[in-house]
Amino acid sequence: MTVTRFAPSPTGYLHVGNLRTALFNFLIAKKAGGQFILRLDDTDPERSKQEYADQIQRDLEWLGLTWDRIEKQSERLDRYATAADELREKGRFYEAWETPTELDLKRKKQLNMGLPPVYDRAALNLSDDEQAKMRAERGQGVWRFKLNQERIEWTDGILGDLSIDAASVSDPVLIRQDGQVLYTIASVVDDTDMGVTHVVRGSDHVTNTATQIQIMEALGFSAPSFAHHSLLTGPQGEALSKRLGTLALKDLRDNGVEAMALLSHMARLGSSQPIELCETLDQLADGFDLNHFGSAPTKFDVDDLYPLTARFLHTRPLSSVSEQVAEIGVPDDLAETFWNVARANITTRKDIAGWWHLFRDGATPLVADEDREFVAQAFDMLPEPPYSADTWKSWTDAVKEATGRKGKGLFMPLRKAVTGLERGPEMADVMQLLQKKPAL
Ligand code: GLU
CA of 372 to the centre of ligand 1 (A): 65
State pLDDT tens for residues 96-109. Answer: 999 999 999 999 99
Q: What is the pLDDT of residues 151-181, one digit of tens each?
A: 999 999 999 999 999 999 999 999 999 999 9
Is 389 within 8 Å of 428 (Cβ atoms)? yes
> What is the phi-psi region of residue 261: left when phi exceeds 0, alpha when psi lies from -120 to 50, beta otherwise?
alpha
Q: Where are the beta strands (DSSP E) in 56-210?
A: 69-72, 93-96, 142-145, 151-156, 160-165, 173-175, 198-202
Nearest alpha-carbon partner for 378 in 407, 426, 417: 417
Q: Determine what percent of the chain is predicted with pLDDT higher than 70.
A: 100
From the CA of 293, how far away is ligand 1's center (Å)? Answer: 20
Nearest-angstrom CA–CA distance, 265 and 277: 8
- Amino acid identity for residue 226 in this structure: F
- Secondary structure of 399-411 in HEC code, one letter for each residue: HHHHHCCCHHHHH
CA gap 377, 371 in Å, rounded: 10
* pLDDT tens column, 326-371: 999 999 999 999 999 999 999 999 999 999 999 999 999 999 999 9
Amino acid at position 274, single letter: P
Helix (H, G, I), strand (E, B) or coil at 304: helix
238 pLDDT band, cuts 50/70/90, is: confident
The mean pLDDT value for 23-43 works out to 98
User: Which residue, by CA, sits nearest to atom 3 of ligand 1?
Assistant: 8
Query: Best mutation site among 9, 38, 40, 41 for ligand 1, i.e. most ligand atoms within 8 A of its Cβ?
Result: 41
pLDDT at 376 (0 to 100):
97
| Residues 6 or more apart whose Cβ sits within 8 Å of residue 363 | 418, 419, 420, 421, 438
Tens of pLDDT, residue by residue over 248-289, are: 999 999 999 999 999 999 999 999 999 999 999 999 999 999
Tens-digit pLDDT profile for residues 12-32: 999 999 999 999 999 999 999
Q: Is 183 in the pocket of ligand 1 (CB under 6 A)?
A: yes
Q: Which parts of 100-150 are beta strand (E)? A: 142-145
pLDDT in tens, 213-222: 999 999 999 9
What is the per-residue pLDDT for 242? 73
The pLDDT of residue 36 is: 98
Task: Decide if pLDDT at 191 tops 90.
Answer: yes
Q: For ligand 1, atom 5, name the residue with the nearest CA.
A: 7
- Residues 3 and 195: beta-carbon distance below 8 Å: yes
Query: What's domain 3-71+183-233's architecture?
Result: 3-Layer(aba) Sandwich (3.40)
- Residue 25 contacts residue 67 (beta carbons within 8 Å): no
Query: What's the pLDDT tens digit per position in 111-144?
Result: 999 999 999 999 999 999 999 999 999 999 999 9
Q: Is 8 in the pocket of ligand 1 (CB under 6 A)?
A: yes
Cβ of 187 less than 6 Å from ligand 1: yes
Domain ranges of the chain: 3-71+183-233, 79-175, 362-440
pTM for this entry: 0.92
- Average pLDDT over the chain, rounded to whole? 96
Question: ∠ CA(78), CA(86), CA(170), 5° rounding?
Answer: 100
353 three-class SS = helix
Question: What is the pLDDT, as a whole number, of residue 241?
Answer: 73
Q: Given this model, what pLDDT does residue 239 score?
A: 82
Q: E strand or H helix at 320, and its extent?
A: none
Q: State the DSSP H helix or E strand holding residue 351, giving kind and residue range, or none if neither.
A: none
Q: Does residue 440 have a pLDDT over 90? A: no
Residue 240: its pLDDT value, please? 79
295 pLDDT above the threshold of 80 = yes
**Distance separating alpha carbons of residues 190 and 192, to the nearest angstrom:** 5
Q: Which atom of ligand 1 is nearest to the CA of 208?
A: 9
User: Is the pLDDT confidence value at 432 over 90?
Assistant: yes
CA of 36 to the centre of ligand 1 (A): 15
pLDDT above 90 coverage of the chain, percent: 97
Name the CATH topology of 79-175: Glutamyl-tRNA Synthetase; domain 3 (3.90.800)
Which atom belonging to ligand 1 lies closest to the Cα atom of 191? Answer: 9
User: Which of 18, 183, 188, 207 has most ligand 1 atoms within 8 Å of its beta carbon, as the pocket-test mutant?
Assistant: 183
CB atoms within 10 A of CB 17: 19
Rounded to the nearest 10°, the torsion over CA 214, 190, 201, 36 is 140
The one-letter amino acid at 143: W
pLDDT at 244: 73
- Side chain identity, residue 129: D
